[in-house]
Structure 1
Amino acid sequence: MSFTVRIAEPHDLDQIARLSDRVFRSKRTTHMAEEFPHLYSPHNARHWFVAEDGGQIRSIIGAMVWPAVIAGARTRVASVGSVATDPDYRGQGLASRLLYLAQSQLAAEAVRLMLISGDLPLYLKFGARSIGRVDWYALPRNLAVAGRYSIRPIDPQDDAAIVARLYQTRSTRFGRTLAQLRAMLVAQPITQVERGVKVALLVLSDGVPVSYLILNHRPFQGVGASRLSEWAGDPKGVLHALTQVSDWPEQGIRIPVLREDLAMQGTLYPLKPDRRGPVSWLVKVIDGVGLASDLAPIGTEQAAQPPRVLLTAPDTYAVEFNGQRWVVNAAELTEWVFSEETAYRPVPLEAIWPLPSLWPEGLNYI
């Protein structure tokens, strides 16, 4: 059996959608292409990668390419998901071949990072790693929040510009255009039809919008804990809005707080997190040279010269800093730049790395 791996064409999307539904929606009435309209759009066909045999697509990987801002520096990332292989054709290395094809194509488009949904051994073998740190808090229903706030649902059309302005206050974020954000807000309730409800709220103080939030409410078959999946602006306003949820879930509301979210940490004090872990996606640096160039403004704030990264072989890099040189593979470089937990990052680099993590939940993968 001879498989061809290639970049998809728009005419492949029907087969791609059917295979996606067979793998991910076999027990549901919803369809992947309806839930993620931008991912399955003909305009995004070149970011699908397929393995076919005799004209039949048997394995797929999809991606959305985003500009992104990390600690104020601009770069490009790809959110990768919908990794699926026909059950009758698994175990033949098709997904692995597609991951490397995706890496090659995305790097050619100046994408620096692949963010991969899930933590399968397949992705770890590919060189993706867990990064960042998230502290999870259980929100007390009776939490008292000082301030005069009012709350209303977000109108996808009228409020998109307000949400965009608030989102811009985050120093690490995806680079959404206003049109993309408006389309995401319109589409986002669809994504949880059978897994719960996404609630999008705008918070105002004396009539002025100060924050917004996306709450993934009762996300697992309508039961279980709800969780805050995205927010920006005044953290006190966000917490006030959450305490006003009338249909309080039996297992409460969970709040993820990234290391750099100092304002939210301070607002939650003296509460303590009850769980800590990496962000929910794996990450792989696929263009370390370009990433180092993009992030150079961050390095110059901390040192006379930022780290220099050179490609010495496929997925192998030399890192030069302060007269020292280290050779690492892509997985190690990913951990050096972004991981909170790595024990072997050289001490001199601790002055610059790790960098903040992009938060992959909320509206970003639609």
Structure 2
Amino acid sequence: MEGSTQHCGPGLDGPRPVRPQELPQVVDLVNQIFCVALGKPPTMGQQFPQLFSPANAANLFLYADQGRPVAHAGLWMGTLHLPGVRLPVAALGSVCTLPPYRGQGLAGRLVAMAWERCREAGRPLLFISGDRSLYLRQGAHRAGRYRDLRLRPPAGTPKPSALPGLGIRLARLPEELPIVARLHQQEPVRWHRPWEAWPELIEAAGYATIYHLRQELWLVTVGENPVACWVTGRGEAFPGELLVLEAFGNRQALAASLQPLLAATGTEQACLPLLEGDPLGPALEAAGFPVGSGPVEPLPGTVAVTDWPLLWRELAPYLEERLPREWVGAQARVEAANGRSRYLLETETGEVWTVEGEAALIRALFGQGDQPVPEVPPHHPLAAALPLPLPWPKGLNYI
């Protein structure tokens, strides 16, 4: 990718990967745009240590003017767990350009380079924290289904807990980190977190730091046994509110502990993202919290499919338990049609499923809020596996 360097004006070179020795200057650039310009302390390097690490420099892209970075786009290579599948994915973030250099298409070319890097690295799915037209033009779109809940303690006398001995307390870190990690590993849909990443991500508190929130990890116990965990943020930016960044473990215990959690944190309501299909929903209803009000929305940010044939192949272990063999082994391909891309699956027996455009493909694969998904009719075999579940994007792995 070094060979793709272009020159846009005198002394301006790129797009190209960041060299490890340039990393401090890149962090200075993103701090200038995302922190200093907004009156915040320059914390981007601390918030996102996995992104801005020397080991990840090859996945960061820039334009430089006489050696000074002036535009940047960064990728983090991760893994997403679905039932039976470890799916290699990427996340895109910290896309920026210094004001004097805007309007030249620098960010667009950097994002295009990031897309190509995903394909080269075998990352068929890309998560993006924003929804700028810059990303939509490349084929990213809103995806997923969740309810943005604001939950207050139910009126009246609290229901007795169905879990005798239920308790809640702050996790004692770092000694109880193995307990937290084991609870997270029980989640069927989750980000893969190597052991060494846990302390780094907890200390970084990437998403919480954006809003100057105090990030805390609360263990839910039954007797002496930890059975669930809340990752929360609270602070002056959201007075009286407790932001749930992640929740994992026993759903009945999570629901029963929500009211004690609010009492322990001195907050009035929980801002809780409930992913569609999560059994936490019925558990909360049984505990007296209304979860059915409010629309089903797409997840924040956008998602892009960077390599459709590879994505379908990588999903095979998940699909094998849900689809007839001919659809699991269907050939996925992309064709040009009427100036846009057509995405197809074709079985050995000649059955064909097709959608036109990236937006339709992403809606079919992941759903999109409360919009209907005409691309996958209820009677079609693919309906048994689609839409695919997604993790909450604003947790510890936020980029």
State the distance in 2 between where 1:362 and 1:163 align: 14
Which segment drifts farther, 330-339 or 311-320?
Answer: 311-320
> Percent identity among equivalent residues?
28
Tell me the equivalent position of 2:299.
279
Tell me the equivalent position of 1:298.
318
- Residue deviations 1:80-133, cap 9 Å, x none? 111111111112111111111011112211111110011212211221111111
Contact 2:207 2:395 (8 Å CA) reproduced: no
Question: Please, which of 318, 336, 344 is the counterpart of residue 318 of structure 1?
Answer: 344
Point out where structure 2 has 5 or more consecutive residues left out of the alignment: 1-8
Task: Report how many residues are paired.
Answer: 363
Q: 1:193 to 1:73 in 2, by over 3 A?
A: closer
Across the aligned residues of Structure 1 and Structure 2, the Cα RMSD in angstroms comes to: 2.4
Is it true that 1:221 corresponds to 2:237 in the alignment? yes
Larger Rg, first or second structure (1 or 2) = 2
State the distance in 2 between where 1:286 and 1:332 align: 14
Point out where structure 1 has 5 or more consecutive residues left out of the alignment: none
Which segment drifts farther, 192-201 or 58-67?
Answer: 192-201
Contact 1:8 1:46 (8 Å CA) reproduced: yes
Q: 1:193 to 1:155 in 2, by over 3 A?
A: farther
Tell me the equivalent position of 2:253.
237
Contact 1:64 1:365 (8 Å CA) reproduced: no
State the distance in 1 between where 2:83 and 2:41 align: 41
DSSP-derived class of the 1:277 partner: coil
DSSP-derived class of the 2:175 partner: coil
State the distance in 2 between where 1:55 and 1:353 align: 47
Question: Please, which of 263, 266, 282 is the counterpart of residue 248 of structure 1?
Answer: 266
DSSP-derived class of the 1:249 partner: coil
Question: Please, which of 349, 356, 360 is the counterpart of residue 389 of structure 2?
Answer: 356
1:18-167 equivalent positions in 2, closer than 5 A: 18-26=28-36, 27-142=39-154, 144=159, 145-147=161-163, 148-167=165-184
DSSP-derived class of the 1:302 partner: coil
Contact 1:118 1:280 (8 Å CA) reproduced: yes
Which segment drifts farther, 98-107 or 138-147?
Answer: 138-147
Contact 1:318 1:326 (8 Å CA) reproduced: yes
**2:22 maps to amino acid:** D
Tell me the equivalent position of 1:266.
282
Which segment drifts farther, 133-142 or 107-116?
Answer: 133-142
Tell me the equivalent position of 1:309.
332
Q: Displacement of 1:320 after TM fit?
A: 2.2
Question: Please, which of 4, 7, 17 is the counterpart of residue 27 of structure 2?
Answer: 17
Contact 2:149 2:273 (8 Å CA) reproduced: yes
State the distance in 2 between where 1:124 and 1:301 align: 33
Q: 1:273 to 1:136 in 2, by over 3 A?
A: farther
State the distance in 2 between where 1:50 and 1:290 align: 27
Q: Displacement of 1:187 after TM fit?
A: 3.0
State the distance in 2 between where 1:7 and 1:193 align: 26
